[in-house]
Amino acid sequence: MQKTDKINAMTIDVEDYYQVAAFEKMISPNEWAQWESRTVANTQKILQILDAHNVKATFFILGYEAEHRPELVREIAAAGHEIGSHGYGHQLAYKQAENIFREDVRRARMLLQDLSGQEVLSYRAPSFSLGRQAVWGHRVLVEEGYKYDSSIFPIRHDLYGDPNAPIEIYPIKTEAGTIWEFPPTTVSVFGKNIPTGGGGYFRIFPYWWTKMMLNRVNQTRQFVFYIHPWEFDPEQPHIPNAPLKSRFRHYTNLKKTSPRFQALLKSFHFAPLREVLKNR
């Protein structure tokens, strides 16, 4: 099977199933330690698949996970992948004061650099929560040493998104300097941006649709794909009392993630953010 020519961004958000924003009302960070951790085993599944297809990725690792599972950070780095920051505590950026956000992204970056031996230049906000409601966010990231961000989803969503944001990789100029934004991929259908860049959309939409849309994107631009380790785990514990919408988004087609992901890697070229920017 012939792959497309463009080099696209492969990104992994390393967080556990009980840490997602959709479940924050059911499980607070103070209760995380009470839940069975499945991050290491699920991330190792992804590492094995990427290695089999000779693909390197950017792993946006949650600082809490790095602190509690440091051997996983070292394993990811030793495999040649780029280490990125997912912040420390997985709190929505626009719900934090600027100084709290700064402490969070600084703490995560320092921890990840110490564990990986890499300079951490990439950041993704929990649930893509930078943008209109946290306009100071990119300036803070530049001041804290980040060069790349992937936090602005150009869609309308109940938790995140800015439907008026650019859909291509673009620079954001701040008072502190410039940072490159890698928006998760969308395609325009009847004038509306439809997400096709991974996560729940990858599981809920049929694979033929995703592949068709990504091939369409690659005719003119690179795309940014994202996935979470818990999406490879259909046996994960279910969160009690979760809203129906959250259950639908989180649990639909978990059994299909791994085969679809492998099919995706056979059809498109992927690299970490830093390599994608070099090949624009």
Can you read off the two tokens belonging to residue 86? 């997912």
Residue 268 lies in a domain: yes
What CATH number is associated with residue 266?
3.20.20.370
Residue 2 within a domain: no
- Domain holding 139, by residue range, is 7-278
135 with 154: CB under 8 angstroms?
no
- Cβ atoms of residues 135 and 93 within 8 Å: no
Residue ranges in the chain whose pLDDT is less than 70: 1-2, 132, 158, 161
At 129 the pLDDT is 87
Side chain identity, residue 253: N
Kindly provide the b/e burial profile for residues 206-231, where b requires at least 16 CB atoms within 10 angstroms of the residue's own CB.
Answer: ebeebbebbeebbeeebbbbbbbbbb
pLDDT at res. 18: 95
Closest CA to 63 of 120, 141, 145: 120
Integer-rounded Cα radius of gyration of the chain: 17
Residue 140 lies in a domain: yes
Work out the angle at residue 94's Cα, subtended by the Cα atoms of residues 72 and 167, and round it to the nearest 5 degrees. Answer: 80
Backbone torsion region of residue 82, taken as left when φ is above 0, otherwise alpha when ψ lies between -120 and 50, otherwise beta = beta
Task: Give 198-228 pLDDT, tens digit per residue.
Answer: 999 999 999 999 999 999 999 999 999 999 9
What is the pLDDT, as a whole number, of residue 190? 85
Predicted pLDDT of residue 164: 85
Q: What is the rounded distance in angstroms from the CA atom of residue 54 to the CA atom of residue 149? A: 24
Task: Name residue, tokens 């502190």.
Answer: 176
In this prediction, residue 42 carries a pLDDT of 98
Taking the C-alpha atoms of 265, 151, 199 and 13 in order, what is their torsion angle to the nearest 10 degrees? 70
- pTM for the model stands at 0.95
User: Does 149 fall in a domain?
Assistant: yes
Predicted local confidence at residue 158, as pLDDT: 65
Does any domain span residue 64? yes
For residue 1, being part of any structural domain is answered with no
Strand 58-61 relative to strand 269-271, pairing = unpaired
pLDDT in tens, 145-179: 999 999 998 887 767 768 888 999 999 999 999 99
What pLDDT is attached to residue 68? 97
Token look-up 């410039």 returns 178
- Secondary structure E strands in the chain: 7-14, 58-61, 82-85, 122-123, 148-149, 170-174, 177-181, 186-189, 192-195, 224-227, 269-271
Structure token pair of residue 259: 């085969």
- Is 79 within the bounds of a domain? yes
Within a domain: residue 118? yes
Number of domains the chain contains: 1
Count of CA atoms in the C-beta half-sphere (13 A) of 15 = 30
Please give the pLDDT value at position 2. Answer: 62
Question: What is residue 163's predicted lDDT score, i.e. its pLDDT?
Answer: 82
Residue 161's pLDDT is what?
67
